[in-house]
């Protein structure tokens, strides 16, 4: 970590700040917090604007437009449907959900109060506690929660057709995902920006706190492995992609030195420079890929890339923040917001036809992309975009410390998640605009497709989709790749979809450039997550190790940092390398595991959210969080159970282990490979079991707490920071 | 470039959006809340900001 040279002055500043805060709070403490609550729903102020008859008509029109769009999507059989209907259906549902449901939550359940000072106001320090204009914070929060998850999940779930996934993305976000983010954001805001883990400890006791930490650490490992695998799958044997992504590292380091050494604090300057250099690297990538001397240097196998990524993750998490992580963070934030906007504009301009059927025959669980039937695996595959437990970590991190006024939390928490859901809908539209044959050729594992485009054509035709090997070859060449077959993991599929939309909207001759732009965009923020996630994992591990031996807990002590980083990278690197070696492509088994763990983290977050509601005396409204909680428990437990115990070796991990052992005994499989498959199957099964047990314990601990409060055994104490009236003019 | 001109305001908005340090806002805060206390230099403020922001690990999502 960077130790600031001027820390002496900084400490004086802190002392002065404390005094400043004391003065502020003393002057504003109100004896009776209930007084403030009478004006609950400063959020309702904008409600006055919506209450006239014209407004009622407007909302009726929005509701009818949404219902009509859903009807078109649901009733279309065979005739071409425009992606515009997806967008209309989603946006109208979001508007209605935001206007009515989130307002209900804000006013009745959370009682947001415009007169209550937020931590950003009370503890303002010009660093992490900074009152921020709500639309700016909305963008900031969105950039922090949206990553590869909402892009990849829908692409994979498109194997069921576009309709089931879209329904879950849109309905799920309104009733579950956005509710979770919103309630946790407000709970954390009312506790001076407390983290989810600490809230769990505070509300549910130390045992649940430790369990939450275990859940977070293990989901982190799976998340990082699966994200790294996605990058590997999209970059293997792709000199253009590898060159461009490699260039992002020196570019970020250059930016780091720019803003730390040469032009201190000039972050925007450095970012403009970085984005410019990224574009140069993107164009240069084509030249590298076409050069007979350079191309072989950057043509790397999946396994080489996997080791490279693990090494990168280790180095990045030990280096000072300013050198790599911070500049990457800035780069990927702007790239993310820019590209998502570009995609929305492109979709509006092009309005591609959805070539994928609304519902495919693979809803029965026989699909090649991943095993498992529509229920429960559609709801597992699409985690981010509908509901993501990971968001609870962000919503209890930096964002709550920046909210200027309490009612802003509705736009930022609920609205920010709606925006992420919209990204997922766009990803679904991009994937569904591909020909089904192309989609399945890119997403089925190589073991299923056979090694060549011709063998793939045979297989895909048996599924009932048309597929032209010549067209596929042309597509492959037009995006500047050697092969697009079995590029599992969703990133490449999305990139092809985006490239087609972008090139039709903005420039027809540039499909290859747009494809690699999309790959770079995805890889850029996946690498940022790898880097950031490894560091978070390292901190958590060091905190735990510090309990055993104190010096190990010091995050700035190099030996401890190196040991902890190695352990974290070793854990996700293990799953990554195994995923690369997996004959079925790895994504097949790792993505569902990630989905399950992410949804389980969401159940933990919803448990905390429900407890907060119950303890604040609003148990009558606890159904707001209990409803999604119950649904997630059903989904994750069914999926986890099937993943472990299903007799179908494609789905059940134990069945896979037994089937492989049988093959080994019969001499049908190389013994090294077979032993690896067996070991991994048992390991994954144990991990899935661990996730289920941890969640069950958290749910039980929470239920006990609810019962005790409702039975009057524990006083319903809200551990919020006491009410202080805002000094801002209303 | 004037401190309150449109370009400066856009720059400040972009900084907030990406979670970048905003030295001008810090100076403003320091003047308001800690009059007379020593003020960090731009470089020290930048370092101090990164330290505070990434102290518990950065919050990034999938």
Q: What does the DSSP assignment read for A132-179?
A: B-HHHHHHHHHHHH-SSHHHHHHHHHGGG-HHHHHHHHHHHIIIIIHH
Answer whether residue A651 is part of any domain.
yes
The answer to whether A168 and A388 have CB atoms below 8 angstroms apart is no
- Taking only residues 574 to 603 of chain A, the set having a beta carbon closer than 8 angstroms to any beta carbon of chain B reads 598
Give the gap in angstroms from C-alpha A260 to the nearest C-alpha of chain B. 7
Q: Is the pLDDT of residue A248 over 90?
A: yes
pLDDT-based confidence at residue A556 (cuts at 50, 70, 90): confident
For residues A156-160, give the mean pLDDT.
Answer: 96
- Identify whether A5 is part of a domain: no
- The pLDDT tens digits for A464-522 are 999 999 999 999 999 999 999 999 999 999 999 999 999 999 876 789 999 999 999 99
A159 assigned to some structural domain? yes
Residue B8 touches partner A, C-beta closer than 8 Å: no
Res. A241: pLDDT tops 90: yes
Distant-in-sequence, close-in-space partners of A321: CB < 8 Å, separation ≥ 6: A1, A2, B50, B54, B58
A381 touching chain B per CB within 8 A: no
Q: Tell me, yes or no, if A25 comes closer than 8 A to chain B by beta carbon.
A: no
Q: To the nearest whole angstrom, how far is the Cα of B12 from the nearest Cα of chain A? A: 9
Where helices occur in A291-402 by DSSP H, the ranges are 295-298, 302-318, 325-350, 374-381, 390-395
The answer to whether A105 and A185 are in contact (CB under 8 A) is: no
What is the ipTM, given to two decimal places?
Answer: 0.90
Quick check: is A285 in a domain?
Answer: no
User: Of A452 and B58, which is predicted with more confidence?
Assistant: A452
**Residue range of the domain that includes A377:** 42-237+300-710
Q: What is the mean pLDDT of residues A433-443?
A: 95
Model pLDDT for residues A311-336, shown as the tens digit of each residue? 999 999 889 889 999 999 999 999 99
Is residue B56 within 8 A of residue A539, CB to CB? The reply is yes
Residue A613's pLDDT is what? 95
pLDDT-wise least confident of A9-13, A388-392, A587-591, A704-708? A9-13
pLDDT level of residue A34 (50, 70, 90 thresholds): very low
Average pLDDT, chain A: 89
B53 CB neighbours in chain A (<8 A) are 127-128, 398
Give average pLDDT by consecutive 10-residue segment, chain B, 62 residues: 74 89 87 87 89 70 59
The CATH number of the domain holding residue A331 is 1.20.1740.10
**Out of B14, B53, B58, whose CB is closest to A535?**
B58
Q: Is residue A721 part of a domain?
A: no
B22: which chain A residues are within 8 Å (Cβ-Cβ)? 130
Structure tokens at A162: 């576009």
Residue-wise pLDDT tens digits, A286-318: 999 999 999 999 999 999 999 999 999 999 988
Q: Which chain A residues are closer than 8 Å to B34 by Cβ? A: 13, 16-17, 20
User: Which range among A42-56, A229-243, B1-15 shows the weakest confidence by mean pLDDT?
Assistant: A42-56
In a domain, A543, yes or no: yes
Q: If you ran DSSP here, which 8-state letter would residue A81 be given?
A: E
Distance CA A484, CA A487 (A): 6
What is the pLDDT, as a whole number, of residue A667? 86
Q: Residue A368 and residue A17: Cα distance in Å, rounded?
A: 59
| Greater model confidence, A178 or B22 | A178
Cα–Cα distance, A23 to A294 (Å, whole number): 65
Q: Are A397 and B59 inside 8 Å of each other by CB?
A: yes
pLDDT of residue A118: 97
* pLDDT reported for residue A4: 35
User: Residue B19 has what pLDDT?
Assistant: 86
CA–CA dist A684, A579 (Å, integer): 11
Would you say residue A134 lies in a domain? Answer: yes
Q: What angle do CA A596, A184, A405 make, to 5 degrees?
A: 150
Cβ neighbours of A391 in B, within 8 Å:
61
Residues 26..45 of B with a Cβ closer than 8 Å to A: which?
A: 26, 29-30, 33-34, 37-45
**Pick from A201, A191, A182, A192: nearest CA to A110:** A182
Residues of chain A with Cβ-Cβ distance to B39 below 8 Å are 9, 13
For the segment A20-30, what is each residue's pLDDT rounded down to a tens digit?
443 333 333 33
Q: Does some domain include residue A242?
A: no
Residue A50 is predicted with a pLDDT of 52
pLDDT on residue A552: 83
Dihedral sign computed on CA atoms, order A723, A726, A727, B3: positive
What's the total number of domains in chain A? 1
Q: How confident is the model at residue A265 (pLDDT cuts 50, 70, 90)?
A: confident
């Amino acid at each position: 970590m960077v130790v600031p040279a001027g820390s002496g002055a900084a400490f004086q500043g802190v002392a002065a700040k404390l005094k400043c805060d004391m003065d502020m709070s003393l002057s504003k403490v109100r004896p009776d917090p209930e007084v403030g609550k009478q004006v609950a729903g400063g959020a309702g102020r904008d409600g006055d604007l919506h209450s006239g008859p014209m407004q009622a008509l407007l909302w009726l029109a929005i509701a009818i437009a949404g219902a009509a769009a859903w009807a078109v999507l649901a009733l279309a059989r065979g005739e071409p449907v425009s992606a515009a209907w997806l967008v209309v259906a989603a946006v109208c549902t979001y508007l209605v959900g935001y206007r009515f449901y989130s307002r209900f939550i804000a006013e009745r359940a959370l009682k947001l109060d415009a007169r209550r000072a937020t931590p950003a106001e009370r503890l303002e320090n010009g660093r992490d506690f900074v009152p921020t204009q709500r639309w700016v914070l909305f963008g900031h929060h969105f950039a922090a929660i949206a990553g590869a998850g909402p892009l990849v999940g829908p692409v994979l779930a498109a194997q069921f057709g576009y309709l089931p996934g879209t329904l879950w993305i849109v309905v799920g976000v309104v009733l579950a995902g956005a509710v979770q983010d919103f309630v946790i954001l407000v709970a954390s805001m009312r506790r001076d920006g407390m983290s989810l883990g600490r809230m769990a400890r505070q509300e549910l006791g130390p045992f649940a706190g430790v369990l939450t930490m275990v859940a977070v650490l293990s989901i982190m490992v799976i998340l990082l492995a699966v994200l790294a695998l996605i990058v590997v799958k999209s970059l293997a044997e792709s000199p253009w992609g590898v060159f461009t992504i490699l260039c992002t590292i020196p570019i970020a380091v250059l930016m780091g030195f720019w803003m730390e050494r040469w032009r201190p604090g000039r972050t925007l300057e450095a970012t403009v420079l970085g984005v410019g250099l990224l574009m140069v690297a993107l164009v240069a990538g084509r030249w590298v890929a076409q050069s007979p001397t350079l191309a072989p240097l950057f043509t790397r196998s999946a396994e080489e890339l996997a080791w490279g990524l693990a090494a990168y993750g280790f180095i990045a998490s030990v280096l000072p923040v300013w050198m790599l992580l911070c500049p990457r963070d800035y780069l990927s934030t702007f790239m993310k917001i820019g590209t998502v906007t570009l995609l929305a504009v492109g979709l509006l301009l092009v309005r591609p036809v959805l070539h994928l059927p609304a519902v495919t025959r693979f809803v029965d669980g026989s699909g090649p992309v991943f095993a498992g039937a529509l229920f429960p695996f559609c709801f597992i595959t699409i985690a981010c975009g509908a509901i993501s437990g990971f968001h609870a970590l962000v919503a209890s991190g930096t964002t709550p410390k920046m909210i200027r006024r309490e009612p802003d939390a509705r736009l930022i928490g609920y609205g920010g998640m709606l925006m992420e859901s919209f990204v997922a809908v766009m990803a679904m539209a991009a994937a569904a605009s591909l020909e089904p044959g192309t989609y399945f050729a890119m997403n089925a594992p190589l073991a299923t497709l056979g090694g060549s485009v011709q063998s793939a054509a045979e297989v895909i035709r048996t599924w009932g989709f048309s597929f032209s090997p010549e067209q596929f070859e042309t597509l492959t060449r037009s995006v500047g790749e050697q092969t697009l077959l079995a590029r599992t993991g969703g990133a490449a599929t999305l990139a092809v979809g985006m490239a087609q939309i972008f090139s039709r909207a903005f420039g027809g001759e540039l499909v290859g450039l747009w494809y690699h732009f999309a790959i770079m965009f995805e890889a850029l923020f996946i690498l940022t997550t790898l880097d950031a996630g490894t560091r978070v994992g390292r901190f958590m591990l060091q905190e735990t190790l510090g309990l055993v031996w104190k010096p190990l807990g010091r995050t700035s002590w190099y030996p401890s940092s190196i040991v902890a980083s190695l352990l974290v990278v070793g854990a996700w690197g293990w799953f990554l390398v195994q995923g690369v070696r997996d004959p079925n492509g790895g994504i097949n088994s790792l993505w569902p595991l990630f989905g399950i763990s992410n949804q389980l983290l969401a159940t933990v977050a919803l448990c905390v959210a429900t407890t907060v509601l119950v303890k604040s005396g609003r148990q009558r409204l606890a159904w707001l969080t209990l409803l999604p909680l119950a649904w997630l428990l059903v989904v994750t437990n069914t999926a986890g159970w099937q993943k472990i115990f299903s007799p179908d070796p494609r789905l059940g991990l134990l069945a896979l282990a037994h089937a492989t052992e049988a093959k080994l005994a019969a001499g049908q499989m190389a013994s090294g490979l077979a032993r690896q498959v067996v070991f991994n199957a048992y390991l994954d099964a144990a991990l899935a079991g661990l996730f289920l047990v941890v969640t069950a314990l958290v749910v039980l601990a929470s239920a006990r707490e609810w019962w005790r409060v409702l039975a009057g055994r524990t006083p319903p104490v809200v551990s919020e920071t006491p009410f202080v009236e805002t000094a801002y003019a209303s | 470039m004037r401190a309150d001109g449109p370009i400066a305001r856009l720059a400040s908005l972009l900084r907030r959006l990406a979670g970048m340090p905003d030295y001008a806002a810090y100076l403003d805060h320091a003047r308001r809340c800690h009059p007379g206390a020593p003020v960090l230099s731009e470089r020290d403020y930048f370092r101090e900001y990164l330290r505070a922001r990434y102290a518990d690990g950065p919050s990034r999502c999938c």
